[in-house]
Amino acid sequence: MASSFDPNNVNLDTVDPAEVVCYLSASGNDYNGHLGARISSIFVIFAVSTAATFFPVIARRVPSLKIPLYVYLFARYFGTGVIVATAFIHLLDPAYAEIGPNTCVGMTGNWAVYSWPPAIALTSTIVVFLMDFGAELYVESKYGVSRVDPAATIVQGDHPSQTISTGEIPSGKSAAWDVETLDSTEAERSFRQQIAAFLILEFGVIFHSVIIGLNLGVVGSEFATLYPVLVFHQSFEGLGIGARMSAIPFKQKSWMPWMLCLAYGLTTPISIAIGLGVRTTYNPNSNTANIVSGVLDSTSAGILLYTGLVELLARDFLFSPQRTNDKKQLTFMIVCTLLGTGIMALLGKWA
């Protein structure tokens, strides 16, 4: 379409608007050098985002570090806000820019018959809900129904009868407690309830990380701004992933949380390396690239919308029987959540 369009001879009464939009959005490869800085981004983003992802998990699983409770709470609830903002600002909005009704893709062929970004996001949200609900029914049928979330209960010192919720740790306690014990059946039940939802969450975030990693490898003049922004972007997302993982009752010697943290940390650096490998040929603004990115971003947006609003906000603040009654601590948790949401939304101005 763009090849037959003459931008110097346009009749506004008869021209197809799609031709104008496709011409304006068409762009080749924008790579403009700075190879050394791009290579450095592989290692910087890997180190910073991996450290941020590991931190909440280490805070819960390594008692000897004695990380203060409020430091852990900051990481966990700041990360919750990050996940929610990522869904709206960093996934759904870019999807509209890639395959929405006012784009070249969205104005041509079957992409023009419907607004696909919200439809794809809605579909993935419902699919995740059905998977989550099915997993819940399976776990309940196998292990029975429990009113108390066993993952939220810990045992204090040498007195098994004295149990309190994770939201009500007395002042002076660290984020990793002296003894964390669960009945084996209850632990297994809680783990199976939560791990499926978490894997879906990480799957959605990794999709997004692949796309931005590729783009960082080939982007043009925007690289100088995008590089530092993505360092924070990936670190905050990693904090959200790690915080969510820290609440899952993995077995003490399980390798899974460490491997899942590492998988997230490696995704963007590997994608940047791939982007550098095709830096002179890959066109991030082509219709094919926009379709792939738009579909993946829409799908990931639906996944993170469900996870952020249902699994994180609703579970921790609205429906948890173990929610803390400490008003100071509850206020801190809310403020951290809002702070994570606000800062991640602000980063959407640049990335």
- What is the reported pLDDT for 39? 93
Round to whole Å and give the CA distance between 66 and 39.
36
7 within a domain of the structure (yes/no) = no
Q: How sure is the predictor about 159, in pLDDT bands with cuts at 50, 70 and 90?
A: very low
For residue 155, with 0-12 CB atoms within 10 Å meaning exposed, 13-18 middle and 19 or more buried, which class applies? middle
Lowest-pLDDT range of 26-40, 151-165, 171-185, 272-286: 151-165
Asked if the model's pLDDT at residue 162 lies above 50, the reply is no
pLDDT at residue 336 is higher than 90: yes
- pLDDT for 208 equals 85
Q: What is the pLDDT of residue 175?
A: 58
Q: In whole angstroms, what separates CA 149 from the centre of its chain? A: 24
- Mean pLDDT in residue range 107-112: 90
Q: How many domains in the chain? A: 1
- pLDDT recorded at residue 146: 53
Q: What is the pLDDT of residues 55-82, one digit of tens each?
A: 988 888 887 888 888 988 898 899 999 9
Higher pLDDT, 165 or 58: 58
**For 189-275, where are the E strands, in sequence order?**
none
pLDDT average, residue stretch 15-30 = 79
pLDDT number for residue 183: 60
Residue 298 lies in a domain: yes
**CA nearest to 231, candidates 259, 245, 246, 212:** 212
Would you say the C-alpha torsion 314, 316, 317, 319 has a positive or negative sign? positive
Domain residues for the domain of 70 are 32-143+180-349
Domain membership of residue 43 (yes or no) is yes
Mean pLDDT to the nearest integer, 291-314: 92
Roughly what angle, to the nearest 10 degrees, separates helices 287-306 and 116-143?
40
pLDDT in tens, 3-15: 577 777 877 777 8
What DSSP character marks residue 322? T
Task: Tell me whether residue 153 is in a domain.
Answer: no
For residues 309 and 302, what is the distance between their CA atoms, to the nearest angstrom? 11
Residue 163 placed within a domain: no
In a domain, 172, yes or no: no
Residue 178: predicted pLDDT: 40
Residue 162: inside a domain? no
Q: Average pLDDT for residues 278-302, to the nearest whole number? A: 89
Cβ-contact 60, 72 below 8 angstroms: yes
For 155, list phi and psi in degrees, rounded to 5: -110, 135
Q: What is the average pLDDT score of the chain? A: 82
The verdict on residue 241 lying in a domain is yes
